[in-house]
Amino acid sequence: MKNNQASDPLWSRLLKKRELIAYFILCRSGRVWNVGDIIDYLIDNLYVSRKVAHSIFRRLKRMKLLIRMDDVMYKCIPFEEYFEGLYRSYVGKKMKRSR
């Protein structure tokens, strides 16, 4: 893990089902996405409205699961890195409670 992302409080929250599926389908390709392509891809594959697709995009970006590469280009962090961050956050909270 670089930049201590595991301790990021944004990763302590689990994704909702729709967000998790969106993150999975965007990241399984491993490509760099244009903002418009992300929204169109979500509309076509998740059958959501443009407003919902844009909301999902903003939430993934805010949680730092989509990293800005250029002005309008984004790349997903690896799926395993996100789950490792969740695990570290969970274990850290449990350790603090047990003391």
- The predicted pLDDT at position 73 comes to 96
Kindly tell me if the per-residue pLDDT of 2 is higher than 80.
no
Q: What is the domain partition of the chain in residue ranges?
A: 15-98
Kindly tell me if the per-residue pLDDT of 81 is higher than 80.
yes
> What secondary structure does DSSP assign to 23-88, as a single string?
HHHHHSS--EEEHHHHHHHHHHHH---HHHHHHHHHHHHHTTSEEE-SSSEEEEPPHHHHHHHHHH
Q: pLDDT category, 92, cuts 50, 70, 90?
A: confident
Phi, psi of 96 (to 5 degrees): -65, -40
30-37 average pLDDT score: 93
Q: Which fold has domain 15-98?
A: Arc Repressor Mutant, subunit A (1.10.10)
Phi, psi of 98 (to 5 degrees): -80, -10
Q: Structure pTM?
A: 0.80
- The predicted pLDDT at position 6 comes to 43
Q: pLDDT category, 11, cuts 50, 70, 90?
A: low
**Rounded Cα distance, 82 and 76, in Å:** 10
